[in-house]
């Protein structure tokens, strides 16, 4: 059943903002509450159009604050929670693990605690229809070799503080479901790309470095493999899981488009040459620089998404080259958004890590 009053945590982030735009396109959506702490990764400029919709409201608050979560639930009376709020960057988790524990583990626990009390207070019919959807990642299953795929019953084997904190959050979700009966769904997404992604992640980082004439830092030999999914496809999958997912269900929302990091960056260089400002042929490719590898760098992720595609009546639509073109075009056409994150913490982080002209 389509949810109608949806509380989205982390709605000012990359995937969350596209999820909110997607929800507001549905006539069944009566109200959306964006519950977001606005960390460095949250940006309200990503929701300028959506903010004009009378069904949309924003509350700046943290999932770590029990009272704020309780108040939001009581005031808003959601029939569905989409939990996306998280610290999400693996490299940051290596340097500053504590915030990952606080947000991803403690924050998820507090959100569950408040949600289950709220859910228990609902009349039977509303309690039956209620869903708590937790957005997790393929990284919780660890790293694969050249062959094989993760399956719904693959064991957890996280390798970074980020993936360990997401794994802990998954376990908390399952424990609330088992102990208290809270109707929970978990989606495991693969590497997402598209407009409005904070440029610490591979694709937006490379786009802005390239447009600035800076080097393109590929970790190690660039042969690690990720499975890429365009953000609209990911948002559609999350929506379908909220509508059709079964309590206790685990859904693999991957793009089924595996590529090495080096190939991704080379394709990006060609796309920029085609649709970006005029440069001589091969200009961007010459900027690729192999730099020190990420510690504990996972080699490959890959999920078998066939069951999810059947269960959720969903499949990704964007071919990687098309999604990449859309993404590059968006960054070229949205200088105000780019400028908003090139100040403050983003700038400092860039200065410390790669230098910024
Ligand atoms: P993001 O980093 O772009 O945004 C995270 C959002 O959460 C920001 O708006 C931030 O302000 C908010 N937030 C952080 N701490 C908060 C707190 N304590 N309380 C409330 N809000 C808080 O993240 P994203 O890339 O959009 O990822 C969204 C979710 O999807 C995450 O749970 C992530 O683990 C998961 N995921 C992401 C990817 C990907 O490739 N980006 C893939 C699979 C799964
Ligand atoms: O797999 C899903 C996960 O994908 C999500 O759960 C995470 O939130 C998201 O950040 C992403 O994790 P990755 O570590 O795979 O994404 P990132 O964009 O940081 O890196 C992608 C690959 O590119 C990875 O193998 C590391 C490499 N890389 C990354 C950066 C930032 C580089 O070679 N150079 C870089 O500068």
Q: DSSP letter for 107, please.
A: I
Percentage of the chain beyond pLDDT 70 is 96
Ligand 1 centre distance from Cα of residue 333 (Å): 24
Question: For 9-29, what is each residue's pLDDT tens digit?
Answer: 999 999 999 999 999 999 999
129 has a pLDDT exceeding 50? yes
Ligand 1 atom, smallest distance to 11 CA = 9
Question: What's the whole-model pTM score?
Answer: 0.97
Q: Does residue 139 carry a catalytic annotation?
A: yes
Ligand 1 centre distance from Cα of residue 317 (Å): 23
Q: DSSP letter for 200, please.
A: T
Q: Which two tokens stand for residue 205?
A: 């980082």
Nearest to 206 by CA among 222, 190, 223: 222
- Give the contacts of 288 (CB within 8 A, at least 6 positions apart): 215, 216, 218, 262, 265, 266, 269
Question: For 173-216, what is each residue's pLDDT tens digit?
Answer: 999 999 999 999 999 999 999 999 999 999 999 999 999 999 99
Q: Does residue 138 carry a catalytic annotation?
A: yes
Average pLDDT of the chain is 95
Please, are residues 145 and 299 in contact by the beta-carbon 8 Å criterion? Answer: yes
Q: For residue 57, report the phi and psi dihedrals to the nearest 5 degrees.
A: -135, 155
d(CA 137, CA 165): 11
Architecture of domain 5-195+228-257+301-318: 3-Layer(aba) Sandwich (3.40)
- Give the contacts of 228 (CB within 8 A, at least 6 positions apart): 190, 191, 192, 193, 255, 257, 258, 259, 264, 320, 323
d(CA 129, CA 122): 10
Please, are residues 246 and 313 in contact by the beta-carbon 8 Å criterion? Answer: no
Question: For 72-118, what is each residue's pLDDT tens digit?
Answer: 999 999 999 999 999 999 999 999 999 999 999 999 999 999 999 99
Q: In terms of DSSP bridges, do strands 225-230 and 258-260 run parallel, antiparallel, or are they unpaired?
A: antiparallel
């Amino acid at each position: 059943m389509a949810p109608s009053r949806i509380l989205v945590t982390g709605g000012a982030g990359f995937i969350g903002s596209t999820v909110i735009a997607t929800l507001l396109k549905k006539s069944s959506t009566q109200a959306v509450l964006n519950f977001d702490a606005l960390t460095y990764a949250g940006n309200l400029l990503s929701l300028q159009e959506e903010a004009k919709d009378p069904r949309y409201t924003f509350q700046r608050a943290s999932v770590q604050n029990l009272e704020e979560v309780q108040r939001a639930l009581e005031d808003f009376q959601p029939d569905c929670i989409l939990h996306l709020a998280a610290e999400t960057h693996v490299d940051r988790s290596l340097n500053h693990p504590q915030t990952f524990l606080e947000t991803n583990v403690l924050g998820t626990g507090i959100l569950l605690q408040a949600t289950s009390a709220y859910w228990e207070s609902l009349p039977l019919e509303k309690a039956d229809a209620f869903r708590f959807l937790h957005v997790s990642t393929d990284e919780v299953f660890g790293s694969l070799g050249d062959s094989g795929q993760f399956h719904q019953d693959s064991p957890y084997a996280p390798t970074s503080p980020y993936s360990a904190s997401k794994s802990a959050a998954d376990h908390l979700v399952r424990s609330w479901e088992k102990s208290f009966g809270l109707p929970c769904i978990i989606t495991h997404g693969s590497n997402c790309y598209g407009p409005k992604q904070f440029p610490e992640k591979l694709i937006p980082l490379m786009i802005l470095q390239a447009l600035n004439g800076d080097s393109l830092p590929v970790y190690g030999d660039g042969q690690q493999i990720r499975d890429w999914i365009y953000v609209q496809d990911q948002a559609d999958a999350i929506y379908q899981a909220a509508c059709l997912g079964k309590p206790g269900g685990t859904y693999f929302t991957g793009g089924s488009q595996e590529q090495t990091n080096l190939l991704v960056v080379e394709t990006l260089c060609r796309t920029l040459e085609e649709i970006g400002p005029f440069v001589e042929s091969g200009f961007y490719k010459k900027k690729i620089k192999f730099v020190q590898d990420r510690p504990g760098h996972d080699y490959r992720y890959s999920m078998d998404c066939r069951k999810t595609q059947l269960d959720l009546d969903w499949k990704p639509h964007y071919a990687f080259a098309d999604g990449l073109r859309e993404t590059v075009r968006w960054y070229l056409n949205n200088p105000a958004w780019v400028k908003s994150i090139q100040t403050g913490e983003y700038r400092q982080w860039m200065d410390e890590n790669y230098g910024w002209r």
